[in-house]
Amino acid sequence: MARKTASAAKRPAAPRKAARKSRKRAPAVADFTRDEEFAALRTMLLVRRFEEKAGQLYGMGHIGGFCHLYIGQEAVVTGVFMARRADDEVITSYRCHGHAIVSGADPKAVMAELTGRAGGISHGKGGSMHIFNTAGHFWGGHGIVGAQVPLGTGLAFARRYGGSDQVSLTFFGEGAANQGQVYESFNMASIWKLPVVYVIENNRYAMGTAVTRSAARPEELYMRGAAFGIPGEQVDGMDVRAVKAAAERAIAHARSGKGPYILEMQTYRYRGHSMSDPAKYRTREEVQKMRQEHDPIEQVKRRLLDKEWASAEDLKEVDAQVRKIVTAAAEFATSAPQPADEELWTDVYAQAGRG
């Protein structure tokens, strides 16, 4: 704690120009319309219920290996996707189920990928960490911490090369924000003015290591691009309205040819890093406090009720619809056949005219 205070006290050391452009916390957030609130609720609930079901299926032994759940962070992907144009590119780490679903991937195919079945979106060959939906401009699903950052920068390079104004939305965690390749990417994105928005999903724990133990100046990751002249912004990542508003500003900046932009989304994951994480590095009280006071879904529900835009019954109906989708996904994912043995040997090399 002492350390945090000390670094906060002597904070404004970053280059002035970028510091001027950067800001800690956005201004007051514009309210959502009723439709926007409902859309956000539906999307966030779908991701949450999907992930809860994935957790259950993992617990039942249907899902193997690593399985990184997104529960608690739903507002980030939801708000950013509400701000993006449908052809903007998206790439992220191995915590990718939510991004895939929100990009339009069929929950059945995503869940079947988690269970390693033939109907999986990658034919069961990628698993939980490698979900792709290129039709929805979602480029995966990458298992090496930080690797998606230069990849996402390359998506931006390609779109600029082709003369398009598409923007690359490159997501990574606060743990990855310490990776060298992230700064190699920041440097190139800045000198070439690439249309990329770097979305740092700061969920406060890189596996079991708190951001205060792993990052220099942990309270201002949005300043990580300052040395490269990249403006940054810290955002309440538990408030889907704040996320959408900040993403709109960042995307407009990138699309207008001004180069990259950094959004530090302050968020929280309720579950362990992966399913096999007993989460002994934080207290249960801390998690419950976040759930009770900042839960992104509860925030939307409360606003809908307070404004009398929805009744409790309406909200239950949304939940029921979402559960139906997720239950169907789970049924498909647990009853679909395993990939045929021949699949072992396919997709090692690309065929001409494919891909």
Q: Is residue 349 a contact residue for another protein (CB under 8 A)?
A: yes
Stretch that binds another protein, among 9-17, 77-85, 93-101, 145-153 (CB under 8 A): 145-153
180 Cβ neighbours under 8 A, 6+ residues apart: 146
Stretch that binds another protein, among 20-28, 232-240, 260-268, 286-294 (CB under 8 A): 286-294
* DSSP of 266-330: E---SS-SSTT---TTS-HHHHHHHHHHH-HHHHHHHHHHHTTSS-HHHHHHHHHHHHHHHHHHH
Rounded Cα distance between 328 and 163, Å, is 41
What count of residues does the chain have? Answer: 355
Q: Binding residue for another protein (CB under 8 A) from 25, 86, 134, 321?
A: 134
Beta strand 89-92 with 196-202 is unpaired
Mask 75-114, x = binds another protein (CB under 8 A)? --------------x-x-----------------------
- CA pseudo-torsion sign 228, 233, 236, 242: negative
Q: Is residue 191 a contact residue for another protein (CB under 8 A)?
A: yes
Closest separation between CB of residue 251 and another protein, Å?
Answer: 18
Q: Is residue 208 a contact residue for another protein (CB under 8 A)?
A: no
Question: Of 174 and 295, which CB lies nearer to another protein in the complex structure?
Answer: 295
- Paired with 265 in beta bridges are 201, 235
CA 197 to chain CA centroid, Å, is: 13
Q: Binding residue for another protein (CB under 8 A) from 5, 10, 35, 61?
A: 61
Which residue in 116, 142, 136 sits closest to 127, CA to CA?
116
Question: Of 156 and 250, which CB lies nearer to another protein in the complex structure?
Answer: 156
Buried b (16+ CB within 10 A) or exposed e, 187-207: ebbbeeebbbbbbbbbbbbbe
Question: Of 43 and 115, which CB lies nearer to another protein in the complex structure?
Answer: 115
Number of residues that bind another protein (CB under 8 A): 83
Q: Is residue 155 a contact residue for another protein (CB under 8 A)?
A: yes
Rounded Cα distance between 198 and 305, Å, is 34
Question: Of 235 and 300, which CB lies nearer to another protein in the complex structure?
Answer: 300
Q: Is residue 331 a contact residue for another protein (CB under 8 A)?
A: yes
Site for another protein in 161-180 (CB under 8 A): 161-162, 180
Question: Of 47 and 336, which CB lies nearer to another protein in the complex structure?
Answer: 336
Site for another protein in 287-326 (CB under 8 A): 287-288, 291-292, 320, 323
Q: What is the four-CA torsion angle of 98, 101, 103, 106, rounded to 10 degrees? A: 160
Q: Is residue 259 a contact residue for another protein (CB under 8 A)?
A: no
Rounded Cα distance between 62 and 116, Å, is 9
Q: Is residue 209 a contact residue for another protein (CB under 8 A)?
A: no
Question: Of 89 and 233, which CB lies nearer to another protein in the complex structure?
Answer: 89
CA distances from 342 to 109, 346, 347, 348 (A): 20, 7, 11, 12
Stretch that binds another protein, among 6-14, 51-59, 80-88, 216-224 (CB under 8 A): 51-59
Q: Is residue 140 a contact residue for another protein (CB under 8 A)?
A: yes
Q: Binding residue for another protein (CB under 8 A) from 43, 92, 103, 153?
A: 153
Q: Binding residue for another protein (CB under 8 A) from 19, 21, 23, 55?
A: 55
Q: Cβ distance 270 to 55 under 8 Å?
A: no
Q: Is residue 60 a contact residue for another protein (CB under 8 A)?
A: yes
Q: Binding residue for another protein (CB under 8 A) from 18, 83, 121, 265?
A: 121
Rounded Cα distance between 49 and 239, Å, is 19
If you ran DSSP here, which 8-state letter would residue 175 be given? T
Q: Binding residue for another protein (CB under 8 A) from 108, 117, 269, 301?
A: 117
Beta strand 89-92 with 205-206 is unpaired
